[in-house]
Each structure stands twice: as C-alpha cells, then as structure tokens.
Chain A
C-alpha cells in the first residue's frame, strides 16, 4: 500500500516502513537502546532526505523511550534527581544542536555533517564496545573476575550532590556536560544517544546498573520531545505521518526484542551491538568515499513571489 509522506514529499510503501520500524524496534528492545542510530540511516537509504529523517526520527524515539521510561518508573528504576540534572544539560544541548542543524542546512553541508558524525561516532563507539565485549567474553571463558571499579578523577570535581535513588555522591558538572553533549549530537544526528549515554554513565559516572537505563531513557525522552518541537518550529521538517508509522512499528517490535534479549548473555549482547554500530558507521564511511551517482543536487528554497 503506497502512502504519500507530506513532508518528505515522497510516496512510500506503508508495510516497508512499518517493517523497518518493527525491525529497529526489535533491535532496540533487544539491547535496551532507542535505535535512532539505525532508524535514521535506514530512512536515508530508502530515499528520505537526511534532514527529514533526523527530524522525524526524533519523535519516533520519544515514543519508544516514553513506553520504556513508564515501565522503569513503575519499577522505581529511575533516579529523578539525576534525571533533572542531566536534563538541564540535555535541553541546552538540544537547542544548540537544532541551531547548528539549521546553520549547516543553509550552508548546504548538513548531509555531509550528518554522515561524518555517523562515521566518527559509530566507528569509535562500535569498536570500543566490540573490543570490550570481546574482552569480557574471554574473561568469562577463562573464569576470571572482572576488575573492581575504582573512583576516578571525575569524583574529585566540586559541586557535589547526593543522588539518593542511585546511591551515589557526584559532582553536577560532568552530569550537565554529558547532558549537553548527548542533547547536541542527538538533535544533529537523529539519535537518542542511549548507546553512548549508558556506557558513559556506567563507566565514567559510576551510576549503578539498577537506575542507569531508566534514567537515561528520561533524558532521551525529554531531549527528543524538545528536538521534535524545535525541528517542527524552525525547519518544518518533521513528517508526522512517517513518524506515526515508525512509532507503531517500533513500540511493537521493541516488546519482542526485549523478550529475546533476556535469553542472550550480557557480554554477547554488547559484542553484537558493537558489531552492529560499527557496521552502520562503516556503511556511512563507504558512502562518503565512493563517487556519488550524481554530483549535483537541487534544493528548493520555497515558492517566491
């Protein structure tokens, strides 16, 4: 069934988009991530312009992180204090991100920047995660105990605050900075940032695993809602029809993914996720290096007169 996407200005097959939403939802449920880093590239590959893809995926991630956050809230696995501090940074970062997005679009370098950010971020995070997963897997094979966590330099920073639910005593400075960074790249790349945020919170901020995913989902939810709003107001690029199809497919797929995820071991999951992230990054790198089929592109600046 063909459906015309009003903002993307493109007819698409509803079932194809629904299936894509479900597939990405499955993966996101499996790994406990938003899946934006998969959804945005997939949309770009089926011919939707990177700008519309980034803006529309934001609302899709908001939907899936809201259903996730609700269930974590019921299990009391969200740290409200930590989430609020993260959000202070997150909202600022998102506003900066959308502003940069608009500037880059006017310069005609938006598509390039989106692709470059994907290459840099995904290959780095992907290879880190892959090697870490590999090491963890080897450790368990050998039966060795994982190294004990120690405090690092971050815990020496001033402006400390007690986060009761997470049972940590931490400076707000790194928390706000993490929020800004995640909000910024999320708005530009159309990702929730969960796959970067969760490792940072675990390894750098030492947030316990009991609250880390729920709290990161709150940040994702609010930054993505905010990004949706800003993209809608400034660039008019949010395709609500596209977003709705993705949401419906995504939230359904996520449920099955989450069930499947419980059957796979943690190290194997991280290894797989690392591999997945890495391959998306490489796909973008290849795209940049090979000569495009057409060197020219047209952008309409709107009806004049």
Chain B
C-alpha cells in the first residue's frame, strides 16, 4: 500500500514537473462520408499551455501528431517467377495494424529527437510498430525488411499511410495546427490521434483525442448488408437479376 502511494506521489510530482499542458481539438469529431465524398481534410489545432514550473529558457517546441485508424489484420504477398509465370509465393501476415496511419511533425522526424527515443515513442513510419507473424512468432522486424517496406509503400500509394515532417505549423511559439487528409477510401471507424510534445529532444508531455468516420448513404447500406446479411443480399441481387432480365424481355419483345 505504501509502495503504491509512493508511486502515485512520484507520478503526480512527475506530472507537475512536466509543466506544460497540451490542449487540442479537431475541427470535426464525426466525419460523414457520403457517396460523392472525394476526400477531405480535418484540421487539428491546439496550444501549449505553460505554467510557473516551465523553465524560462524553454521556448522551442517540437510536435509529433500520430493518427491511427481502426486496426485490421492484413496479408502482404510477394510474387516470384516460377515456371516462367509470376506466382504469389511468400507472404507475411501483419496483425492488428492501423488501416490508416498518418505521422505529422513540425520538422524532420530525425532531428526532433534521438533515434533511441524515436524508436520507443514510435516516431516516423520506420519506427511504428507493425507486428508480423513470422512462422508462429510475433514480432516487428527491421525497417528495411522487404515485406514491411512493401507494405508501407503500398499503403502510402493509396494515401492511407503518410508521413510528413512539415505538416505541423506553429502559428505562434505555442499555438499550432495541422491538417489530417482523409482520402476517398478511408476505412470507417474510430481514429485515435496522439499528440506528443518534445523540447530539446525529450518528450515533455502528450495528449490524445479521437474522431470517428462514418459512411452514410446507399453504398454504405449495401456494403453493410453484404457483410452482415449475406443470404438476404444474395437473394435480393438474384431477384434484381431476374427483374432486369424480365424487363428487358418485355421492353425488347419483338412480336
């Protein structure tokens, strides 16, 4: 009990010693994707609140924003030439990786902090934890692993993974903003946003916020029905086929 109290006290003191507080907000906590949605940009803005405990010499801050979409399992496959044709041979399974991932900072990721802290705090696409199942074992591999880099490259091509070391702008030394681009094919679900504040290469404080992406309209209704009520969906599609065929035979009846 005493140990617990002591640790709580340390935690509290630690918090107090941080001296900065982050206040953030996104422009929209619930993004609705309609059928003619062609991508939009959310805006995240916030400020660094200082108090009396803030060291006077601390003026320059660095900020890293991580946006993570709902997690999913994915498989990356590699083709190889066998018997003269290109065949999927090897594959890696990525477990519970973010379906959308964006990392933004006010300057290049490698100058914000040391490689050691960057790895621990998952700063930059190379440092984000992407767990792979490697023959029954679970691990993340080195950043230059062929499957990992191909995975990141393909997701980046679709606009679902992105990294930008100049996306965060400080409007004043303590007021900042950044845009979160959401392409047309963003997965639906809850998006977690993590904001980390660095000063002189050390993590000062961090905070979290979230937003939700919901798709509305006929297309989403179709997609949901297809996944949840396969039988009814199949029956309706089959009925639709019969109706179309029947109408055509009436409209174009020759006799």
Q: Which residues of A contact B (CB under 8 A)?
A: 2-7, 9-11, 59-60, 62-71, 108-109, 111-112, 224-225, 228-234, 236, 238, 240-241, 243-244, 247-248, 251-252, 254-255, 288-289, 291-292, 294-305
Nearest CB on B from A54, distance (A)? 14
Nearest CB on B from A61, distance (A)? 8
Q: Establish whether residues B245 and A228, one from each chain, have CB atoms under 8 Å apart when the complex forms.
A: no
Closest residue of B by beta carbon distance from A234: B230
Q: Mark B88-103, 1 if CB is under 8 A from A, else 0.
A: 1001010110010000
Q: Establish whether residues B86 and A297, one from each chain, have CB atoms under 8 Å apart when the complex forms.
A: no
Q: Is B81's beta carbon under 8 Å from chain A?
A: yes
Partner pick for A295 among B78, B236, B247, CB 8 A cutoff: B78
Q: Mark B244-255, 1 if CB is under 8 A from A, else 0.
A: 111111001110
Q: Establish whether residues A225 and B75, one from each chain, have CB atoms under 8 Å apart when the complex forms.
A: no
Q: Establish whether residues B75 and A60, one from each chain, have CB atoms under 8 Å apart when the complex forms.
A: no
In whole angstroms, how far apart are the Cα atoms of A62 and B245 in the complex? 8
Q: Mark B159-191, 1 if CB is under 8 A from A, else 0.
A: 000000000000000000000000011010100
In whole angstroms, how far apart are the Cα atoms of A65 and B249 in the complex? 10
CB pairs A–B below 8 angstroms (8 shown): A66-B242, A232-B234, A238-B226, A247-B245, A254-B248, A296-B78, A296-B79, A296-B150
Partner pick for B72 among A5, A7, A302, CB 8 A cutoff: A302
Set of chain B residues within 8 Å of A254, measured between Cβ atoms: 248
Set of chain A residues within 8 Å of B111, measured between Cβ atoms: none
Set of chain B residues within 8 Å of A238, measured between Cβ atoms: 226, 233-234, 237
Partner pick for A299 among B35, B75, B79, B185, CB 8 A cutoff: B75
Binds A, one of B9-17, B115-123, B215-223: B215-223
Set of chain A residues within 8 Å of B110, measured between Cβ atoms: none
Partner pick for B222 among A241, A255, A303, CB 8 A cutoff: A241
In whole angstroms, how far apart are the Cα atoms of A6 and B225 in the complex? 10
Closest residue of B by beta carbon distance from A247: B244
Nearest CB on B from A158, distance (A)? 36
Given A112-B87, A296-B147, A297-B79; 11 other pairs, CB 8 A cutoff: A63-B241, A63-B244, A70-B245, A111-B88, A231-B234, A251-B248, A300-B73, A301-B74, A302-B73, A303-B71, A304-B71
